[in-house]
Structure 1
Amino acid sequence: MSSNEQSTEPSNKPAHPVSYGVDYDVSYGDHPAPIPFTAPWVYEIHFPCDPRGPRIVRGTLRAVLHAHGIGEIAERAELLTCELATNSVRHTKGPVIVRMQWLCPVLRVSVWDASPDLPPFAPGAAMPDPAAPCGRGLPIVESLADRWGGCGSVDGPNGGPGGRTIWFELALGGDFRSPSPALAA
């Protein structure tokens, strides 16, 4: 075929390929390579004050952790995240934000809500009576998390009113190194 003849066969290449500055062509349905295990990542879930929210967050967290190959801490992370998200739904009236952050080898989960008050339970406090109808959530966090804490904030997400953040960390293996204090919330 000469250089000025047109081929009647279908072309495998699109007329105008889409480029997003990465090494794949979205027109073929290819996906980028997964990020490395040690690379940091963050996922956030925003949900209204709805009793179904903690269950949705728990399932999403499980899917994220297994997709990133850190399923060995999924069971503890699910339980602790569900406890904190449930506390937010039960004790506040506004939206809740759950943030999952991987800082290899540490997973940090933060739960923000619009309450201006930190919970009365402090790290190191005694476990409440097992027969009590409530009050066991934070002691469970205390006993299963490698580290945990909380802080209040004057400014909330997107410039809204402040609230509080309760967070916990789980480390893979025995290589736990505390992240920078600037990352505390």
Structure 2
Amino acid sequence: MPQDVNEPEPWEYTLGIPNDPRAVTVCRRTLRLILTIHGLIRLTDVAELLATELISNAVCHAKGPAALRLRWRDGVLRIGAWDGDPDPPQPTTAFANFADMAESESGRGLALVQACADVWGWYPLPRDGTGGKYVWCDLGIA
């Protein structure tokens, strides 16, 4: 099937980061630049929120380095975060309302991902390599 002329070609980027809270800002700004140069600026605000939550969790809950992975294919942006902690992500219990979530100091990251992404998930990575886990979410163009 021919690709729409307005549809960007598939691409993928991976940005390795140290376990440093400042790396979250580097990831957010890198994501904005990548989406801008690929003509996907309309996805930037939500994509930045999702990437920030995934990378913040990786930096906060794992002890070693992490990575942000961005992939565009077939009209879907996949945002993923790798970290070395093999434990599954722990979604919080549902907040009673948006105000409760907004006032919470922590525990809202995966709730925001669930609310803003089309779909999300995670899988463990083999221990014979780097191990850990990969948490991802998809954001469609529509």
Q: Under TM normalisation by the shorter chain, which class is it?
A: 0.7 to 0.9
Matching residue of 1:177 = none
Please tell me whether the aligned partners of residues 121 and 137 of structure 2 are also in contact (alpha carbons under 8 angstroms): yes
Which residue identity is paired with 1:137?
Answer: G
Residue among 138, 151, 167 paired with 2:123: 151
User: What residue identity is the alignment partner of 1:140?
Assistant: L
The RMSD of aligned alpha carbons is 1.8
Alignment of 1:55-66 (within 5 A): 55-66=25-36
Matching of residue 172 in structure 1 with residue 141 in structure 2: yes
Detail structure 1 runs of 4+ shifted over 2 Å in the superposition.
127-133
Judging by fraction of residues, say which structure has more helix.
2
User: What is the 5 A alignment of 1:15-164?
Assistant: 37-121=7-91, 126-127=94-95, 129-130=100-101, 131-155=103-127, 159-160=129-130, 162-164=131-133
Q: What are structure 2's unaligned runs of at least 5 residues?
A: 1-5
SS of the equivalent of 2:126 reads strand
What is the percentage of aligned positions where both structures have the same residue? 39
Question: How far apart are residue 109 of structure 1 and its match?
Answer: 0.8
Work out which of the two has the higher radius of gyration on C-alpha atoms and give 1 or 2. Answer: 1
Task: Work out which structure has the larger RCO, using CA pairs closer than 8 Å and 6 or more positions apart in sequence.
Answer: 2
Q: TM-score, normalised by structure 1?
A: 0.67
On the 8 A contact 2:24/2:56 being kept in 1, the answer is yes
CA drift of 1:148 comes to 0.6
> Counterpart of 1:76 in 2: which secondary structure?
helix
